[in-house]
Copies of this chain bind each other. A is one copy, B any other.
Amino acid sequence: MKPGISWMAVDVEAGHLRIWALSADGAVLDRVSAVSGVADVRAETVEALILEHAGTWIDGPIRVLVSGLLSPSGDAAPVPLPCAPPDGSHARPLAMKDPRLRAYALPPVVQSRPADVLQGTYVQVAGFLKAQSQFDGVLCLPGAYSRWVQVSAAEIVSVRSFMTGALFDLLSDDLGLGAYLEEALTDPDRASFEAGVQDGLARSHLLTSDILELRATALLARQTSEAARARLFGLLVGVELAGARPYWLGQNLAVIATAPLTQLYQSALHMQAVTASCVDGEEMMLAGLRAACATLDPDDQVSNGR
Residues on A facing B (Cβ under 8 Å)? 39-40, 70, 72, 110-111, 114-117, 145, 160-164, 166-167, 170-171, 174, 176, 203-213, 215-217, 219-222, 236, 239-240, 242-245
Q: Interface SS of chain A: helix, strand, loop or mixed?
A: helix
CB of B212 within 8 A of CB of A145, answer yes
CB of A239 within 8 A of CB of B208, answer yes
Min CB gap A112→B, angstroms = 9
- Across the interface, name the chain B residue whose C-beta is closest to A236: B208
Q: CA–CA, A239 to B242, complex, Å?
A: 14
- Across the interface, name the chain B residue whose C-beta is closest to A242: B205
- Across the interface, name the chain B residue whose C-beta is closest to A222: B115
How many copies of the shown chain assemble into the complex? Answer: 2
Q: CA–CA, A306 to B91, complex, Å?
A: 69
Q: CA–CA, A206 to B213, complex, Å?
A: 21
Q: CA–CA, A221 to B115, complex, Å?
A: 11
Q: List, in ascending order, chain B residues with CB within 8 A of A114's CB.
A: 209-210, 213, 216
Min CB gap A108→B, angstroms = 8
From B115, B208, B243, give the contact of A206 (CB < 8 A): B243
Min CB gap A177→B, angstroms = 13
Q: CA–CA, A70 to B176, complex, Å?
A: 15
Q: List, in ascending order, chain B residues with CB within 8 A of A164's CB.
A: 208
Beyond A117-B216, A117-B220, A219-B117, whether A209 also contacts B160 by CB under 8 A is: yes
Which of A174, A176, A245 has most B Cβ within 10 Å?
A: A174
Min CB gap A210→B, angstroms = 8
Min CB gap A243→B, angstroms = 4
CB of B166 within 8 A of CB of A213, answer no
Which of A40, A167, A204, A216 has most B Cβ within 10 Å?
A: A216
Beyond A174-B170, A209-B162, A213-B116, whether A72 also contacts B204 by CB under 8 A is: no
CB of A209 within 8 A of CB of B243, answer yes
